[in-house]
Amino acid sequence: MSRTRIYVRPLAQLAPIAGPQQVPTIVVAGRADLPFAAVEVIERKDGKVHRRQVAAAELRGGTVSGPVQAVLARIGQPRTDAAGIGLDRVRLMGVVNVTPDSFSDGGPYLAKDAAIAHALRLEQEGADILDIGGESTRPWSHPVELEEECGRVLPVIAALAKRTRARLSIDTRKAEVMRRAALEGAHIINDVSALTHDPEAIEVAAGLGLPVVLMHAQGDPRTMQDAPSYDDVVLDVYDALQARIEACERAGIPRARLIVDPGIGFGKTLQHNLTLLGTLSIFHGLGCAMMLGASRKSFIGHLTGAEALDRLPGSIATALLGAAQGVQILRVHDVAATRQALAVWEGAMAASSSMGGAGSE
């Protein structure tokens, strides 16, 4: 008989309250500035799912089981810094695609100097992390040979390591690219296959000692959008990420070094993507920092008809949706616009916590 699986999703995000809390709340990832009023407790066993909502006050009263309390403990635990970057507020990862065929910006930054200039511009706009990738993993894309991928990304990483204070992330599925990129100065590994594509990747990542982004994807880029299906997309993605976290821990990569990404657009339909975006807070139960990469994704086009380069409004909407659910890292193409939107959102949230008198405009 299969065991009961427990999930806890923080609900009803509240504005932070200055001074002592008068009402019990759920704190996500140690952030008192992002309280929630309740949780949804979900139990799944033998294909059956039971859901109930529990107010924060009831949780303090000891009315929930030990397994639920264990998930709540993971939800509330502060997240470890990522390559020296504190995760007590939203951080931006700027996309640097050194490719000819990425879905929205393939080609312009294929040349080394163009990629470096673009990366430095993203840092100036407010990127905390620069994600350098040399292989497109868009739907129906084909793999790139090792030496070609290295030839694209390594000179860019080596140059940026000397010229930027931003952390450098290597976006790759290949163990050897991870190894060489780290030697050139990469600080973070971002693998869309969650260290499953290359049999050596998990051992190499463990040895390098760098933070690792584990992204969920159903299937290979060449086939993942053919007919994606799930019993329950949110719980299935959660279970898959938990399995990868446990595999990493067995390989010697501690949970504190792992960052999870639900993989918007990777083996998901429009409805799958929207469901995940509406329930992102559940993934805090994994006890890892969370990244969201929804910038310019095709689901925005499916909803609005906009082409990839015209999806900035939809991208900002998803970024704010993620920020409101406690996502620590947003992977975006349009850093300046996203930073501005976050500044307004964060400013309004901070102001609402004090409810002070009139101020200057």
Which residue numbers are catalytic? 297, 331
Confirm if 152 and 98 have CB atoms less than 8 A apart. Answer: yes
The rounded distance, in Å, linking the Cα atoms of 218 and 265 is 10
d(C-alpha 258, C-alpha 286), whole Å? 10
**What is the per-residue DSSP string for 304-352?**
H---GGG-HHHHHHHHHHHHHTT-SEEEES-HHHHHHHHHHHHHHHHHH
Residue 274, CB half-sphere, CA atoms under 13 Å: how many? 9
Helix (H, G, I), strand (E, B) or coil at 140: coil
Nearest to 188 by CA among 163, 159, 209, 218: 209
179-213 as b/e: b if 16+ CB within 10 A: bbbbebbbbbbbbbbbbbbbeebbebbbebebbbb
The CA–CA distances, whole Å, from 75 to 79, 279, 283, 288, 323 equal 10, 14, 8, 9, 16
Radius of gyration of the chain, Cα coordinates, nearest whole angstrom: 20
